Structures are given as C-alpha cells and as structure tokens.
Amino acid sequence: MKKELFPNKEAFITFSLYIILFVFQGVFVTASKTENGTYDYNTTLVVFLSELLKLVISATLYTLRRENKPHIFKAIALNYKLLLLYFIPSLLYCFYNNLAFINLQHYDPTSYYILLQFRVVLTALLFQFLFKKNLTFIQWISLAILTTGCMIKNFDAASVQSNGDSDLWSRLFNIYFLSINFQNFCSCLAGTYNEYLLKTQGSSVDIFLQNVFMYLDSVICNFIILMIKGEVVTMFDDLQSLWDIFVILITVNSAVVGIVTSFFLKNLNSILKTYASALELIITAVVCYILFNILITTYTIISICLVSIAVAMYFKNPVNNVVPSTSDKDKVPLLDITSHK
C-alpha cells in the first residue's frame, strides 16, 4: 500500500498552519524582549493564561458540537482515567513552554529552532517504542542528516556567544545548552505520548474533549509552577504588564497552536511533526533577517541546506499514518512511559 504524506487536504492545511503559527510565535517572543534581551512581563503567567485560553476554547468547541454526546462535566467524570493520563504530557508541555522563554532569551530564533531539532532522533525512538513501527533505513539516514545540520548550527551559536573566546567547548556545553536539551526531551516525550493517547486510549473520545483534559491538567500544572515561584500573590499585579500587543499575540497565538497541534497529532504523526519544526527554521531565518536584521551566517546556510535535504528525503518515504489496531493498543505498555520523566 502506498504511503501518503498527507491523507487529505485538511491534513496539508493543518501541516501548513502548524509551521506558520510556530514561526509567528518565535517572532512575537523575540519582539517582546527589551533592549537588553530580557522580558518585562511575567512569562510563567503568560503560559498559564495561554493554557487557560486553550481550555476555554476547547470546552466551548466541544459544547457547540456536542449533539448527542454527554455534557462536558459528565464526560469528564466518565473518562476520568484519561484525564489523569493527560497529566503526563501536560506537565512536560508545562516545562517546555516555560523553558521556551528562557532559551529564546539566550538564543536568536533561528539558532533556537535549529537547536530544538536535536529532538528528532529521540522522537523517532519513542515513536517506535509506542507504536511498534520500525523506521526504514532511508528514514534513519534522513534523521541523521537532520541531526548533523543541528550540530553544525550549534557550533555557530556557540561561536557567536564566545565572541572569539578560545574556550569554545565551555561555551557550547553551558547551562543554556542543557536547558534547551531538557526542553527537547520534554517536547519529544510529550508530543509522542500525546499522539499515543489521541490514537489509542482516547481514540473514541471527541478530540475537543481530549483537549479539555490536556489543558485542564496544564492549567493545574502551570498554577503549581506559579505557586512554587511565589508569584500567585502578585498575579493580579502582574496582569498589568501583559497589556502589550506582542504579549497578547503570544498568548493568543500559543492557544491556537495548541489546538492545531492536537489535530496534527490526531491525523498525522509526531515524526512528521519534527520535520515540520525543521521547516520552521528555514522560514524563521528569513523572517528574522528581514524583521530583526539577524544575520544568516555560513553555518546557518549549511544547516538549512542539510535540513532541506533531510526533509525532502522523508517526504519521499514518510511514516505510515495508519492508526494502530486494537490488538496493538493492548500490547503497548501505557504506564511504562512514565519512567522516562
């Protein structure tokens, strides 16, 4: 059977929207920084409000198209086990979203998105484990080329930060390098496990109800982060700093990205999602050069070329998007994945 990259027109639209919205997100976050590269607003609160907005949108859409389905509160009670399982990707996404602000503070958007591509190999391994699908040799070669492009750009980012310092390795493997790789780990595990829940345990549950589970758990996780940071008491005071056009755009765009991502994982797969993320860096590099005059270096050009080759190879030999059979679902150890946290 021929494997198609996009099973229908809606899948292609979802793929395109995902890329465009994430490019916008990187641009908006960069534009919201002050002249000295910091944020003059509470980034954790922005993530919290974004998750809250996702929850409201998902609950509203479920209610509007409910028809003969149970009321949202009854539906939550009936599927409480799935609600609890969604705490795993919700917590990981919580870490990912908060780390995005920290890492974008220390990397330009192009470097940031290229460094995030280290997640592709880990995503592939998790995908094989959860869905019992072995990637082909060509697919692994494509992933290796993609990773090589990321490594080249990583040396570029390190050399820029070192400002001629001979101790390049200490600049390369600093705390922010560890931070962005932990962000990669959170992204891989959250995205792959979210896809698993959408296509297996929650395959019979309305996608907007699944989003309600995801974002209800996310709101709780982000509220806990606010409590740990001691920012709950100042939350209402911090709201005043959020009345900035770019902060509002970040919040709204992030909410839309979350909804689009759920459709992406439901109808496509997390492997293709990593390639979509790679395409973001090509567009981001051009957009940031135009808007912020961030130079496109030789390393960046080489990285973009390698990523383009890897994407082209994958597009000719994509992973099959067929949902696992019922027997496969029963074979996959659902709770074992928590050991990767």
Predicted pLDDT of residue 84: 92
pLDDT of 174 reads: 58
> pLDDT truncated to tens, each residue of the chain (341 aa)?
445 677 788 888 999 999 999 888 888 888 888 877 778 888 888 888 898 999 999 999 999 887 778 888 898 899 989 999 999 999 998 888 788 878 877 777 666 766 776 777 778 888 888 777 788 888 889 888 877 876 676 565 555 555 544 454 554 455 677 788 888 888 888 888 888 888 888 888 888 999 999 999 999 988 888 888 787 777 777 787 788 888 899 999 999 998 998 888 888 888 888 778 777 777 877 787 787 777 777 877 888 888 888 888 887 878 765 554 444 443 333 333 323 33
**CA dist 110 → 180, 216, 337 (Å):** 14, 32, 31
pLDDT at 159: 55
238-to-41, 46, 99, 152, 231 alpha-carbon distances in Å: 7, 10, 19, 40, 9
Q: Pick from 118, 125, 169: which is nearest to 147 by CA?
A: 118
Q: How far apart are CA 181 and CA 115, in angstroms?
A: 8
Q: What is the pLDDT of residue 225?
A: 83
Q: For position 267, what pLDDT does the model report? A: 83
* 124-139 confidence digits (pLDDT tens): 888 888 777 788 888 8
* pLDDT for residue 160: 52
Per-residue 3-state assignment (H helix, E strand, C coil) for the chain:
CCCCCCCCHHHHHHHHHHHHHHHHHHHHHHHCCCCCCCCCCCHHHHHHHHHHHHHHHHHHHHHHCCCCCCCHHHHHHHCHHHHHHCHHHHHHHHHHHHHHHHHHHHCCHHHHHHHHHHHHHHHHHHHHHHHCCCCCHHHHHHHHHHHHHHHHHHHHHHHHHHCCCCCHHHHHCCHHHHHHHHHHHHHHHHHHHHHHHHHCCCCCCCHHHHHHHHHHHHHHHHHHHHHHCCCCCCHHHHHHHHCCHHHHHHHHHHHHHHHHHHHHHHHCCHHHHHHHHHHHHHHHHHHHHHHHCCCCCHHHHHHHHHHHHHHHHHHHCCCCCCCCCHHHHHHCCCHHHHHHC
Q: What pLDDT shows up at residue 333?
A: 35
Q: What is the pTM of this model?
A: 0.74
On the 0-12 / 13-18 / 19+ scale of CB atoms within 10 A, 316 is: exposed
Cα distances from 118 to residues 143, 209, 275, in angstroms, run: 10, 32, 11
Q: What is the pLDDT of residues 189-203, one digit of tens each?
A: 888 888 888 888 888
